Amino acid sequence: MPPDATEETFDLPGCLARVRQSDQAAARELVAHLYPMVIRIVRARLPRRAAEEDLAQEIFLKMFTRIDQYQGSVPFPHWVSRIAVTTCIDQLRAQKRRPEFRWADLSENEADVLDAVLTNDGDVEAGDAMAAHELVHKLLDQLKPDDRLVLQLLDLEQKTLAEVSELTGWNITLIKVRAFRARRKLPKLFAELQKKERV
């Protein structure tokens, strides 16, 4: 997920060299350059109720702390995106209590969408796409952070196993196993929801 807009004009190696010499102006330039990529990752994986700017700040501070460990084996934006993803997972793990998923808490649109997919009763209307998107995130919130991430990347964002591996640092077999286990939990979640609706 490299930032492509200013990629060609921005002198990343030069900027990194200056940052390593504790040049604050270079650090500011680096943050401004990488912010769009980092904020996209944060917004896609942000735990609910967490402030995106605080999380972005934490990611950049980790980046500066570990910058001497960067060996250049992968492009620098990829290295930063991995820090961003793992920081988001850590944040999700820290949020021990996951919000309870109840039918009564869903909006009217979300309830309609859920009803449609559960009863197999026709297609979800195009206008309900946002509600469906929100619903997917509410369902993912019920899973463990690692399971949630793997399903979000593979199923929702349709990334390849190699891309997920690059982002998370997990090997392909582990990703497949996590995805398999996470998908097995979903029918159980849907069944619980249907049961709760009837009560």
User: Should residue 35 be labelled a site residue for another protein when binding is judged by CB under 8 A?
Assistant: yes
The answer to whether 180 contacts another protein (rule: CB under 8 A) is: no
Total chain residues near another protein (CB under 8 A): 45
Torsion of CA 175, 179, 182, 184, to 10 degrees: -140
For the chain, give the number of residues: 199
Q: What gap in Å lies between CA 16 and CA 31, rounded to an integer?
A: 11
Smaller CB separation from another protein, 44 or 161: 44
In the DSSP assignment, the letter for residue 157 is S
Q: What single-letter amino acid sits at 78? A: H
Q: Return the structure tokens found at 39.
A: 């904020």
Q: Is 181 in the site for another protein (CB under 8 A)?
A: no
> Which phi and psi angles does 177 have, rounded to 5°?
-65, -45
Tokens (6 digits) for 171: 């090997």
Q: Min. distance of Cβ 186 from another protein in angstroms? A: 5
Is residue 51 within the footprint of another protein (CB under 8 A)? no
Contacts of residue 186, Cβ cutoff 8 Å, sequence gap at least 6: 139
Smallest gap, in angstroms, from Cβ of residue 146 to another protein?
Answer: 18
Per the listing, tokens 């972005």 go with 56
Q: Which is nearer to another protein, 46 or 92 (CB)?
A: 46
* Interface of this chain with another protein, residues 5 to 34, rule: CB under 8 A: 22, 24-25, 27-29, 31-32
Q: Which of 46, 55, 56, 92 binds another protein (CB under 8 A)?
A: 56
Nearest 5°: the CA angle 94, 95, 100 is 155
One character per residue 66-105, x = contact with another protein (rule: CB under 8 A)? ----------------------------------------
C-alpha closest to that of 177 among 164, 188, 189: 164
Positions touching another protein (CB under 8 A) are 22, 24-25, 27-29, 31-32, 35-36, 39-40, 43, 53, 56-57, 60-61, 64-65, 113-114, 116-118, 120, 122-124, 126, 128-130, 132-133, 135-136, 139, 155-156, 158, 183, 186-187, 190
